[in-house]
Amino acid sequence: MHRGYWKIKILSILENKDPKHSCRVFFKEYAKCDSFDNNMAEIFNASIVEHIFKSITIILEDIFHSVMIGVALNKNVAYRLDQPTFPMILRKLEKGKNQSRWWQACPGGNGKYDVKHGSVGFVVDILDKTCTCGAWLLSGIPCCYALAVMREEN
Ligand SMILES: [Zn+2]
C-alpha cells in the first residue's frame, strides 16, 4: 500500500466521524481537559491482558483492585507534592511564559486586553479568565496570551 492509499483511507474514515469527538472547538469547557487522545483505552487494555483467561467475575475484581491501587498511588503522589500545583501544569505555565514574551498586551478597559504580535491578535478578559484563542477556557491553564497580560499587569 502506498502513502496516497492511506491518505485517502484516513480521509474517508474521518469524513464519517462526528467532529464533536475529535475537534477541540466542540469540546465542552466545564471539563477543563483539552486532550482528545489520552491513551486511557490503551492503558486499560494493557492492564487486563494478563487476566483475559480468567472468569468475568475474577477479571472485574482484579480491575476493581488495580483501579483502587492506582487511585491510592496517585493520592500519595499528590500528598507528597511540596507545591499546590502539579509539575506538569508548572511546565505548561513555564512554556507559556516563554512564548508570552513575543506578545504585547494593550489594556482596553474592564479587564480586557488586546494581545498582539504583528498582525495576529487575541482578546484576553483577565476578569472572566477567557481568551479568544479558547485554550484558557478549555484547559483551565492560562494560555501564553493571558500570561502576556499577567506579565504586563505586574
Ligand atoms: Zn488564549
Phi and psi dihedrals of 123, rounded to 5?
-105, 125
Average pLDDT, the chain: 87
Distance 22 CA to ligand 1 centre (A): 20
pLDDT reading at 38 higher than 70 = no
From the centroid of its chain, how far is CA 103?
Answer: 22
pLDDT-derived band at 2 (thresholds 50, 70, 90) equals: confident
Distance 154 CA to ligand 1 centre (A): 19
Distance 38 CA to ligand 1 centre (A): 22
pLDDT reading at 36 higher than 70 = no
Distance 134 CA to ligand 1 centre (A): 6
Distance 27 CA to ligand 1 centre (A): 15
Q: Where are the alpha helices (DSSP H) in 30-143?
A: 40-48, 56-80, 87-100, 135-139
Distance 145 CA to ligand 1 centre (A): 5
Question: Tens digit of pLDDT for each residue in 69-104?
Answer: 989 998 998 888 888 888 889 999 999 999 999 999
